[in-house]
Structure 1
């Protein structure tokens, strides 16, 4: 992605240097493109969340089982067996990406695949607008700082890989601080399966925000911030930086022109890299954010229990849905984002181009 700045049109060597959109427009463009991608791929994200939390009951504190068993035995002695059966069934309820999607749609209705969509769209407008929309500006800032402001007039100077990584970590971590409450609500609503009584934990997105704040305090809305910062620093580097590098390589090698085929190829490569490096942190983040108060002492405790109870494979639970979702999301997002950027660029420079003629 070429750096973009908000400079006015200039004549350079008989040609016009195009005026770039302002920062708010760039943020809105990135957020809107991410929302489009979320609308298309949200069922895969829901399947990924359900698979990631599957088997989580085995990590619950011992006191949970003692308390539950004691209360149910007093009611007739069959409650403990019922609890064991319920958790046993839950541990193998979902199998594979397609199986999970079909099971949710069959048992809870197709609408359940979009549980948490409103929070998801809110998250993207807060999150993607910062981590994607600010990336070029932060990358340019770091590159100019590293160069001591040398060549500051040349906005197209290629940044080093270290600069791109630092920019990706910065925008990814900064975005989490703004968007964490929306992520907590989104994950909890996606993780909630239909209960036997039909009672939902949250009646709506706004009810989820208020309920979490009331029962867990405002800090509950920022639950899992540390693993989420770690995850999104990794995701941003793997996703944005890899897309940036793959696209640059494709263009510089002359393999493809700057168009949809180029964006598609770079997005698939970036999605694969993201899934491989981010899955372990993503599983821990999802489980920790979805867990009731007191189940885990922290994100590290959650990761340790997963390793002890379920083995290293637990960190890649939901890998195929995650891969399918991330690749699909990257394709939709980057193609949409690149087209939006071109449309905005044309809109910003149309008066200038008309004046030339």
Structure 2
């Protein structure tokens, strides 16, 4: 990510450009900071997506109450280690690649158009998702464990225990189970999230000026767009990754089954907890990202 520099005497200002590795480091750090705040909503979203036809009319409040009764308040933080590891891999990759490509385009061809921002976001999301798929598989399984009967619980101790057991018990390729679904979702999510945030920020900047209110409003717009666009592929991805050992299902078969057995609107099941997670998550990620960028350019660059 680049920032304007002071003008040099006798010449035009030359923008400061953040080193590539800092884009990755700051991106991952902002994601890890954000997920610690919204993990309960993420767990609720996953549990609702796994309810299937039987839970079609189950409310988010019913699911939340069930978690408290059976697992206690700390049940909302089951899988936090996997969530943090996912941010350390997936978000580090996607934000680092996005900011790197954005700066490259801006330096060679000028400010990217909105369609270009979406494409850059999709490319960044696909790369980040491939890197983060093992953590994603562990996260889905750990957050789903609480709703399983005792004899079917996997009882992973933490993300590293989950990755180790999945590798030894089911083979290393299982770590990329649902990889295509994860990459597909990530391309949609990041095309919508990063593209819409950058566009909203650019459009609102003249009226609001650069600062926390701008970052918050742009991020909330981005979070809504992302929630609506990504939820159908998110539901498909979740069900593919949570399938039992030895069960082979495809994205298309899951999609057909959901529409046939639960109706088209089931593709947006859990929209409220999804936005309750993605909205604040988007706000927090970009607020942390912008503030860390400012600190870098103030004290390091």
- Residue 127 of structure 1: aligned partner: 90
- Residue 282 of structure 2: aligned partner: 330
Per the normalisation by structure 1, the TM-score is 0.78
Superposition map of 1:216-227 within 5 A: 216-227=170-181
Is 1:161 aligned with 2:100?
no
For residues 164 and 109 of structure 1, what CA distance do their matches in structure 2 show?
Answer: 43
For residues 131 and 53 of structure 1, what CA distance do their matches in structure 2 show?
Answer: 26
Superposition map of 1:1-357 within 5 A: 3-4=1-2, 11=8, 13=10, 17=14, 19-55=16-52, 91-92=54-55, 95-142=58-105, 149=108, 157-193=110-146, 197=150, 200-204=153-157, 205-251=159-205, 254-349=206-301
Q: Spell out, residue by residue over 1:133-180, the C-alpha distance to the aligned partner (whole angstroms, 9 max, x if none).
A: 221221343566xxxx5x6xxxxx311223212211111101111110
Q: Spell out, residue by residue over 1:263-290, the C-alpha distance to the aligned partner (whole angstroms, 9 max, x if none).
A: 0000000000001111000000011101
> Bigger shift: 34-43 or 340-349?
340-349
Q: After TM superposition, give the deviation of residue 299 of structure 1 in Å.
A: 1.5
For residues 45 and 203 of structure 2, what CA distance do their matches in structure 1 show?
Answer: 31
Structure whose CA Rg is larger: 1
In the alignment, structure 2 segments of 5+ residues that lack a partner are none
3-state SS in 1 of match to 2:155: coil
Q: Spell out, residue by residue over 1:91-112, the C-alpha distance to the aligned partner (whole angstroms, 9 max, x if none).
A: 3498333332232122211121
For residues 343 and 256 of structure 1, what CA distance do their matches in structure 2 show?
Answer: 21
**Matched residue count:** 300
3-state SS in 2 of match to 1:159: coil
Q: After TM superposition, give the deviation of residue 12 of structure 1 in Å.
A: 6.1
For residues 2 and 68 of structure 2, what CA distance do their matches in structure 1 show?
Answer: 43
For residues 346 and 300 of structure 1, what CA distance do their matches in structure 2 show?
Answer: 49
Q: After TM superposition, give the deviation of residue 13 of structure 1 in Å.
A: 4.5
Q: After TM superposition, give the deviation of residue 294 of structure 1 in Å.
A: 4.1
> Bigger shift: 194-203 or 99-108?
194-203
Q: Spell out, residue by residue over 1:179-229, the C-alpha distance to the aligned partner (whole angstroms, 9 max, x if none).
A: 100000001101112555487403312221122112321110001111111
> Bigger shift: 267-276 or 95-104?
95-104
Higher helix residue share:
2
For residues 165 and 46 of structure 1, what CA distance do their matches in structure 2 show?
Answer: 28
Query: How has the CA–CA distance of structure 1 residues 262 and 294 changed in structure 2, closer, same or farther, with 3 Å as cutoff?
Result: same
3-state SS in 1 of match to 2:146: coil
Query: How has the CA–CA distance of structure 1 residues 13 and 329 changed in structure 2, closer, same or farther, with 3 Å as cutoff?
Result: farther
In the alignment, structure 1 segments of 5+ residues that lack a partner are 59-90, 152-156, 350-357
For residues 191 and 147 of structure 2, what CA distance do their matches in structure 1 show?
Answer: 36
Query: How has the CA–CA distance of structure 1 residues 199 and 292 changed in structure 2, closer, same or farther, with 3 Å as cutoff?
Result: closer
Query: How has the CA–CA distance of structure 1 residues 12 and 289 changed in structure 2, closer, same or farther, with 3 Å as cutoff?
Result: farther
Q: Spell out, residue by residue over 1:278-319, the C-alpha distance to the aligned partner (whole angstroms, 9 max, x if none).
A: 100000001110111344431211111112221112211111
For residues 208 and 66 of structure 2, what CA distance do their matches in structure 1 show?
Answer: 41
> Bigger shift: 276-285 or 211-220?
211-220
